[in-house]
Homo-oligomer: A and B are copies of this chain.
Amino acid sequence: MTKSTETAEERDPVVSGWQAQKSAATRKLIIESAIKCFVDLGYSNTTTTAIAERAGLSRGAMLHHFPSKIDIVKAAVDYLHGKRLRAVRRAVPRAGAGEDRVRSNLEAYWRDVRHPMFVAFFELVVAARTDRELADILQPAQEAFDREWHRTAREVFTEWQVDDATFDVALDLSRYVIEGMAISNLMNRQGGRDEKVLDYLEDKLRELRDSKEKRS
């Protein structure tokens, strides 16, 4: 446990310390407990005591790994960010080149945003609006994710021979619809109708892909 936890934490960072391995496991346990707390209690109701309880650790034990609450939050943001990035990189190119890449990617993102991880992330984003310290932590991760998402999409959907503006509209539209839907569903259950909206969106995305003239 030097100070190696600042930005790394990609995957499981292969600790070679034959005893620091347990330390890494404990850190991961704490981070995941914190995320559970964000989901169950909300960000601002998350206390260090609650995190420790969920991790099955004592408060002091936890504070040994993370000297203060903000350190846990930092680590959790890194952790979530890494997970989201990996999810995108994994999901987007998965489906082979074919008619159904639109559908499968739509469904992949729709699955992602209903995962508890998204709830936790959302809690962080909302809290960051009025918490500068959290915002400073979240912003870089957020921007990196947005860039990567956009870049990956552009790289992968090579069959979209449309101009940049059209492609951006397709991306933005998809994201707004799906995230708007996810957020709506976080609160009021109102199932059923969402499928119809997804189907419609899929249809319109195909239309966008095929309609315009080639670019570049």
Contacts and interface: CB of A to CB of B under 8 A. Distances in A.
A128 B187 contact: yes
Nearest to A182: B180
A200 B188 contact: no
Contacts of A194: 172
> Which of A169, A176, A184, A193: most chain B Cβ within 10 A?
A176
Contacts of A139: 188
A192 B173 CA distance: 14
A187 B41 contact: no
A155 to B, nearest CB: 19
A201 B181 CA distance: 16
Interface string A136-147: 000100110010
Contacts of A126: 42, 122-123, 126
Contact of A179 (B40, B42, B131, B180): B180
A183 interface: yes
Given A127-B42, A196-B165, A179 B183 contact: yes
The 3 nearest A-B residue pairs measured at CB = A180-B180, A176-B180, A42-B130
Interface of A: 40-42, 44-45, 122-123, 125-131, 139, 142-143, 146, 165, 168-169, 172-173, 175-181, 183-184, 186-188, 190, 193-194, 196-197, 200-201, 204
